[in-house]
Amino acid sequence: MNRVDRLMGIVTALQSKTYMFAEQIAEHFGISVRTVFRDLRAMGEIGVPIGFEAGKGYFIADGYFLPPVSLTVEEANTLALLEPLVVRFADKSARQHFASALSKIKMVLGKTQRKTFEQVQAHTAHFIPEMYAHLLPDTAYLTTIQNAIVHKNILRIEYENLNGGRSIREVEPIGLTFYSLNWHLIAWCHLRKDYRDFRTSRIQKMTATMMPFRKNDHIGLNEYLKIMEATMLQEPA
């Protein structure tokens, strides 16, 4: 990777995270910390508002946006390669937003890049026999869940358990995870007073209440998944 591409990559990385330490940037781009400091200084000299907060790391000041750039052929082709996976594993809301994002990306591609991108799309397909079509995710909750996670709002769901019984729950979502061919909402359940794993395909109805979380010390999603993995390993064969 040449230096110009690396500098743009650092800007993109900083914009995608709240803070990053120099060591994290160095590891991400395979360079030395000394080189990171030189790059950050160079970015500041050309007007990128780089800041630093002790104990947290480097950040880009709010309000700065990297001008649109063209994707490489390989980057665009990778997005086309992912399209069938989104169709198969995402829900209605996510599929709609992915299609919209692809349309916007195609608009900023050059003529040759766009042609190549469309060729890859034409030769990359999602296939599932009609007899298995019912296995496609039929909900439209993923976007609502994502918004609730970001804004820390309570969701009210009507949930069907394995035995067919239904219950109304108020939950505080901490994350989404995909396993066993299903999306799972991980959330604090006020009914059970504990974290619960809700398979999104079993959610019959969802309402975004706009009410703020009542619990303010949630564990992180990765921490929950580690606990879940440890519990699985302890279960008898």
Residue 221 is predicted with a pLDDT of: 95
Tell me, yes or no, whether 86 and 128 share the same domain: yes
Tell me, yes or no, whether 211 and 151 share the same domain: yes
Tell me, yes or no, whether 205 and 150 share the same domain: yes
What CA–CA distance (Å, rounded) separates 23 from 35? 11
What CA–CA distance (Å, rounded) separates 153 from 214? 9
What CA–CA distance (Å, rounded) separates 33 from 45? 19
Residue 38 inside a domain? The answer is yes
Residue 65 inside a domain? The answer is no
Q: Which of 62-71, 87-96, 127-136 has the lowest mean pLDDT?
A: 62-71
Residue 84 is predicted with a pLDDT of: 83
Residue 121 inside a domain? The answer is yes
- Residue-averaged pLDDT of the chain: 86
Mean pLDDT of the 186-193 span = 96
Q: What angle do CA 18, 23, 25 make, to 5 degrees?
A: 55
Residue 138 inside a domain? The answer is no
Model confidence over 198-218: pLDDT tens digits?
999 899 999 999 999 999 999
- pLDDT band at 2; cut points 50, 70, 90: confident
Residue 97 is predicted with a pLDDT of: 87
- pLDDT band at 234; cut points 50, 70, 90: low
We report the CATH number of the domain holding residue 26 as: 1.10.10.10
Residue 68 is predicted with a pLDDT of: 55
- pLDDT band at 144; cut points 50, 70, 90: very high
What CA–CA distance (Å, rounded) separates 1 from 143? 35
Last residue of a domain, one of 32, 60, 88: 60
Range(s) of the domain holding residue 165:
145-234
Tell me, yes or no, whether 223 and 173 share the same domain: yes
Model confidence over 17-36: pLDDT tens digits?
778 999 999 998 999 999 99
Last residue of a domain, one of 110, 132, 154: 132
Residue 237 is predicted with a pLDDT of: 42
How many domains does the chain divide into? 3
